[in-house]
């Protein structure tokens, strides 16, 4: 499950990730800044409101995020 940050303001962050993607309130997600060659962890967010099937609002827990960064559920390696 992953989506892109589409808006940031003093009230929090909105990403293209919603009910259809399996998001639920309280979920902690990782945030990555991606370039064509690299992906770097830049912080974590917590889902605090789900608008619909496609968008959710997040509270920034830590890190320095920017519009266009990727929000992703932490991958568990087997």
The residue whose two tokens read 């830049």 is 42
Higher pLDDT: 11 or 68? It is 68
pLDDT in tens, 1-60: 889 999 998 888 999 999 998 999 999 999 999 888 999 999 999 999 999 999 999 999
Nearest of 17, 28, 78, 27 to residue 53 by alpha carbon: 17
Q: What is residue 9's predicted lDDT score, i.e. its pLDDT?
A: 85
Query: 62: which strand partners?
Result: 44
Q: Judging by DSSP bridges, how do beta strands 70-72 and 39-50 pair with one another?
A: unpaired
A 10 A CB-CB count for 25 gives: 11
The pLDDT, as a whole number, for residue 75 is 66
- H/E stretch holding 39 reads strand 39-50
| pLDDT over 60 at 78, yes or no | no
């Amino acid at each position: 499950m992953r989506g892109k940050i589409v808006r940031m303001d003093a009230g929090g962050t909105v990403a293209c990730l919603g009910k259809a993607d399996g998001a639920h309130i309280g979920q902690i997600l990782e945030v990555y800044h991606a370039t064509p060659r690299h992906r770097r962890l830049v912080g974590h967010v917590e889902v605090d409101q789900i608008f619909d099937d496609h968008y959710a609002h997040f509270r920034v827990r830590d890190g320095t995020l920017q519009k266009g960064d990727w929000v992703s559920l932490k991958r568990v390696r087997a």
